[in-house]
Amino acid sequence: MLTTLDIQAPIKMPTGIEGFEHLAMGGLPMGRTTLLVGTSGSGKTIFSAEFLYRGITQYDRTGVFVTLEERPIEIMRNVKRVCWELVELVTSNRLAFVDGSPDPVPTEEVGKYNLEGLITQIRYAVQKVKATLVVIDSIGSLFHQFSDISKVRLEIFRLTEVMRELGVTTLMTAERLDEYGHISRHGVEEFISDNVIVLRNVLAEEKCRRTIQVLKMRGDVHSKGEYPFTISHTGITILPLSAMELTQESSNERIGTGNSDMDTMTNGGIFRDSIFLVSGPTGGGKTLMSAMFAAEGCRAGEHVLLLAYEESREQLLRNASSWGIDFAKWEREGLLRIVCQYPEAMGLEDHLLVIRRAIESFQPRRLIMDSVSAMERVASVRNFREFVIGLTSYMKQARVCSLFTSTTPQLSGGESVTETHISTITDVIVLLRYVEINGILRRGIAVIKMRGSQHDKRIREFTIDGDGMHVGNPFQNVQNIMLGVASVTPIRDADHFDKMFE
């Protein structure tokens, strides 16, 4: 019988799982069954448990967990690792378990049967706690327990009809064997549900990468790609990367870079919420610029977060003090926080989570990432690009002025893959280069890009000494400083190669 619910566009039920609502346009379709498929270990049980846990604790609902593979006690133990106490929900009658796990008692099949026993148990549990949410994990187990495959399929379908009659929102998990291939193992998806979510756990570049994808969702224009997620002690966090819209208004407020010469070159400093890329070879002055940037913030009493992926804390402190900048003091005063990590330590999604947590807890106004190219080394090109998009989106949202350093492969410059990816996202790009002129190695600095503002387009020479960086005069009569081997040109060609940097 058609109900109004069938004719209208599906109403969505928020799950409370971080990032999911954005992906699934509001949540799961209310009153319907959504199929959650994934290979073994892809996170189906955790996702389902979190769906129930948050539905109950955050949205004041009640639920039933139908466990067909593991016993209820095993489920409760597993999710305890993620810090959720299900026992308490059971004793307070907000959560009921239905145990459909394989019975150790020897069983024979003789003649025809159906799965009315299970359906009865579920119906009874739903009515007992007045549930609006149901999880069924996982239907593959039914195919293992019973040999009449076509009957099992029919009964699963009947189960979804019963759930619909009861008006509950159901999340049903199913197993699959390949990460990319048939949707589910037993071909149930065709008739079960118009709503299918896929969880994947792929080994890429020696790292495990978990992704979630909304494969189908009836009546919806949803994000179609795969999105990375992590599982931590707070549960699942989905990083909705490219889907994040940068709708924040840009700030017109300028802040100091830490170097007055640089401030002049940028026509008054950089904007408060910009992302500032400093690119250069090893030893080219990037670390100094970062230190100056940090110092400027600390002197103004701002929180500065320094994410270091290439050098140790001791090295950073030593470098800074060689230029008269006292990191240790600001650390003690709680203005500077240094986080050192090996890029290889975890996957990029986990790095992103660590960074976000650090930003949330420390609330910095300035952030330095030294270097973002270190991350590039440990991931695939796509993975890295997603990481950068996710990171910069988050920085913008959090209104943190960020400085990213990027190491160019050659001393004279050359193409950096990092820059190819992030140059469109960053607001300010500063290039530092070594320049060989007449047998002497000199240093050049140029502001390549500055969104929303005029800037000095000339390539200037700079020096570094015990007091820091000093930007001097523009190179005259020299070309190819940024692009390769500098050569002196008799013609005054300053305007000509400036245009190459527009």
Partner 1 sequence: MMNPSDSQNDISPKGWRLRLYIAGQTAKSLAAISNLHRIVKKYLPEKIEIEIIDLLENPELAAVDHIIAIPTLIRKSPMPICKVIGDLSSTEKTLIGLQIKPPTNGS
Residues lying near partner 1 in the complex (CB under 8 A) are found at 98-101, 103, 105-118, 120-121, 123-124, 142, 145-146
Question: Which residue, 125 or 325, has its beta carbon nearer to partner 1?
Answer: 125
Smallest gap from Cβ 100 to partner 1, in A, equals 5
Other Cβ atoms closer than 10 A to 473: 9
Spatial neighbors of 99 by CB under 8 A, at least 6 apart, are 67, 71, 72
Of 99 and 194, which has the nearer Cβ to partner 1? Answer: 99
**Considering the complex, what minimum distance in angstroms separates the CB of residue 69 from partner 1?**
13
Encoded tokens for 465: 């000494």
Q: How far is the CB of 126 from partner 1 (least distance, A)?
A: 11
Residue number, 151 or 222, with CB nearest to partner 1: 151
Give 166 or 244: the residue with its C-beta nearer to partner 1. 166
Smallest gap from Cβ 120 to partner 1, in A, equals: 5
Q: Which is nearer to partner 1, 112 or 233 (CB)?
A: 112
Sign of CA pseudo-dihedral 121, 123, 127, 133: positive
Q: Rounded to an integer, what distance in angstroms lies between the CA atom of residue 273 and that of residue 294? A: 15
Decide whether 101 or 397 has the Cβ nearer to partner 1. 101
Distance CA 387, CA 276 (A): 17
Residue 287 to residue 294: CA distance in whole angstroms: 10
CB of 115 to partner 1, least distance (A): 6
- Cβ atoms within 10 Å of 419's Cβ, excluding its own: 19
User: Rounded to an integer, what distance in angstroms lies between the CA atom of residue 501 and that of residue 15?
Assistant: 48
Minimum distance from residue 189 beta carbon to partner 1 (Å): 22
**E runs forming strands in 335-426:** 336-340, 366-370, 401-407
Q: 99 or 436: whose CB is closer to partner 1?
A: 99
Cβ 169 to partner 1 shortest distance, Å: 22
Token representation of residue 394:
């988050």
From residue 454, give the alpha-carbon distance in Å to each of 94, 270, 451: 61, 11, 8
Report d(CA 205, CA 208) in Å as an integer.
8
Q: Could you give the CA distance from residue 178 to residue 217 in angstroms, rounded to a whole number?
A: 21
